[in-house]
């Protein structure tokens, strides 16, 4: 089986000691591609730097909603500049996070809209972060023209929101949360959502799947998420794996053919 970890943070300090070993281990476990996702300007520069060292690693650049307090809207000009790099295949992650930060709602909104515009301008897929902000996300979606490809990463919404996402033709991405015993709502969404619109991610170093829960997550653990999807959908593992891999290639590769 071949795997595409569509959302990882290999630039984070948790990998400073053994980053190269982590990347080699991923490759040895069948991880064909990794998308390293930026969370602010410095992070976006670093994910590009890492991507340029490895043929199978790509980058996404953006400013995370929890990082917007450290920037001015004009700083997104740097994100736009970085998005022109040959290894950048997406914009984000961006969106809303009202679980950790409610006091800067308007600034999160301003940065989200601006990054949607960058995504559309360069015809790059958009990686959306949504936490405790379903209504605000929907309000933006209904008002602003979105790019052709949109994925809700680390999907944690309920079945109603999943139905809305499907209606809008969005992709959704599952993390190790799907393997947790108490993740009933996420499992229900997985069972409902068409496999053709599902991709997977580790969100490493966070959210390690069972049986590694509580430890540092790594891209090689992506297979455990796919195995869980196969169980939930009661479908052949290799077929599920192949479909998700092709979904990922199609989502990130359709326009520029960079991969």
What are the boundaries of each domain within the chain? 3-253
pLDDT at 165 over 80: yes
C-alpha distance from residue 131 to each of 29, 177, 202, 254 (Å)? 31, 14, 17, 28
Q: Give the SS3 label for residue 14.
A: helix
For every residue of 20-62, DSSP letters joined together read HHHHHHHHHTTEEEEEEEPSSHHHHHHHHHHHTT-TTEEEEE-
Question: To the nearest whole percent, how much of the chain has pLDDT over 90?
Answer: 92
Predicted pLDDT at 102: 73
Backbone angles phi, psi at 215, to 5 degrees: -100, 175
CA nearest 122: which of 144, 143, 91?
Answer: 91
Those residues whose C-beta lies under 8 Å from the C-beta of residue 10, and which sit 6 or more positions away, are 19, 22, 23, 34, 36, 47, 50, 57, 204, 219
Backbone angles phi, psi at 186, to 5 degrees: -65, -40
Predicted pLDDT at 98: 84
* Mean pLDDT rounded to a whole number for the chain: 95
Predicted pLDDT at 257: 67
Bridge partners (DSSP) listed for residue 129: 95
Give pLDDT tens digits for 30-55. Answer: 999 999 999 999 999 999 999 999 99
pLDDT at 56 over 80: yes
Q: Which band of pLDDT confidence, cut at 50, 70 and 90, is reported for residue 112?
A: very high
Give pLDDT tens digits for 199-217. Answer: 999 999 999 999 999 999 9
CATH superfamily of 3-253: Metal-dependent hydrolases (3.20.20.140)
Predicted pLDDT at 255: 47
Entry pTM: 0.96
pLDDT at 99 over 80: no
pLDDT at 131 over 70: yes
Q: How many residues does the chain have?
A: 259
């Amino acid at each position: 089986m071949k795997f595409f970890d569509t959302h990882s943070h290999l630039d984070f300090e948790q990998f400073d000691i053994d980053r190269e070993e982590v990347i080699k281990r991923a490759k040895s476990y069948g991880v064909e591609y990794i998308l390293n996702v930026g969370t602010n300007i410095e992070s976006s520069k670093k994910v590009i730097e890492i991507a340029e060292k490895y043929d199978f690693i790509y980058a996404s650049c953006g400013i995370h909603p929890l990082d917007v307090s450290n920037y001015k809207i004009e700083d997104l000009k740097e994100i736009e500049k970085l998005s022109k790099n040959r290894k950048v295949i997406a914009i984000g992650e961006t969106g809303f996070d009202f679980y950790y930060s409610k006091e800067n709602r308007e600034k999160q909104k301003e940065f989200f809209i601006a990054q949607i515009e960058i995504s559309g301008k360069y015809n790059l897929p958009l990686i959306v972060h949504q936490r405790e902000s379903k209504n605000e996300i929907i309000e933006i979606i209904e008002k602003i023209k979105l790019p052709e490809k949109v994925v809700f990463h680390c999907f944690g919404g309920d079945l109603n929101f999943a139905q809305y996402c499907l209606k809008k033709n969005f992709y959704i991405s599952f993390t190790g949360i799907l393997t947790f015993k108490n993740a009933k709502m996420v499992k229900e969404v997985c069972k409902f959502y068409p496999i053709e619109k599902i991709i997977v991610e580790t969100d490493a170093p966070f959210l390690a799947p069972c049986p590694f829960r509580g430890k540092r997550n790594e891209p090689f653990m992506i297979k455990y998420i796919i195995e869980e999807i196969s169980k939930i959908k009661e479908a052949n593992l290799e077929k599920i794996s192949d479909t998700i891999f092709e979904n990922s290639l199609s989502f990130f590769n359709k326009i520029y053919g960079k991969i």
